């Protein structure tokens, strides 16, 4: 059985032509006649590959973010999806004009607690899409509406880059 993606139309013409008639001129003529079918076949293969890609997109954050970047911002990939607000402790340098910060263990009197990455988060329940201002928010909105989960809401925020 021939796999659909591996079909060689020129080999098919040669295979079903009797060996006596496999001259160069006749094969060239028959290949010229089936060439439009070959170009349609290539377009069909390209279309099916695109459809397979679209069917495999799920509403997970990383896949949706990569898909949006593939569509609208291939070079710089600046579209981001945030699902939580990360509160962190930012420590400035003393050379920036701030007083030095002293840290202690939790067992000591007045410790300054430093959370690890992702420990202090506020879950949005939904998500925020950060889109550069050069990209049309309306097109991004239509794409997200097509692939997001039904119960989820989102906000599109434009960012200056």
b vs e for 2-23, b when ≥16 Cβ sit within 10 Å of the residue's Cβ? eeeeeeeeeeebeeeeeeeeee
10 has pLDDT over 90: yes
Tokens found for residue 85: 């607000």
pLDDT of residue 153: 87
Contact by Cβ (8 Å): 110, 156: no
pLDDT of residue 105: 62
Percent of the chain with pLDDT over 70: 75
Across the range 7-26, mean pLDDT stands at 91
Predicted confidence band at 104 (pLDDT cuts at 50, 70, 90)?
A: low
Q: Which pTM does this prediction carry? A: 0.59
Which H helix or E strand runs over 127?
strand 121-132
């Amino acid at each position: 059985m021939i796999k659909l993606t591996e079909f060689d139309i020129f080999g098919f013409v040669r295979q079903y032509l009797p060996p006596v008639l496999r001259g160069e001129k006749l094969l060239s003529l028959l290949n010229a006649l089936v060439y439009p079918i070959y170009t349609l076949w290539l377009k069909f293969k390209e279309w099916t590959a695109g459809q397979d890609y679209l069917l495999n997109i799920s509403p997970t954050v990383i896949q949706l973010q990569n898909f949006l970047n593939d569509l609208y911002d291939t070079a710089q990939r600046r579209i981001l999806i945030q699902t939580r607000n990360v509160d962190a402790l930012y420590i400035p340098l003393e050379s920036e004009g701030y007083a030095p910060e002293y840290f202690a263990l939790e067992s000591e009197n007045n410790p300054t607690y430093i959370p690890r990455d992702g420990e202090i988060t506020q879950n949005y329940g939904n998500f925020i899409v950060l889109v550069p201002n050069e990209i049309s928010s309306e097109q991004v909105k239509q794409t997200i509406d097509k692939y997001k989960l039904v119960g989820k809401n989102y906000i599109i925020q434009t960012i200056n880059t």
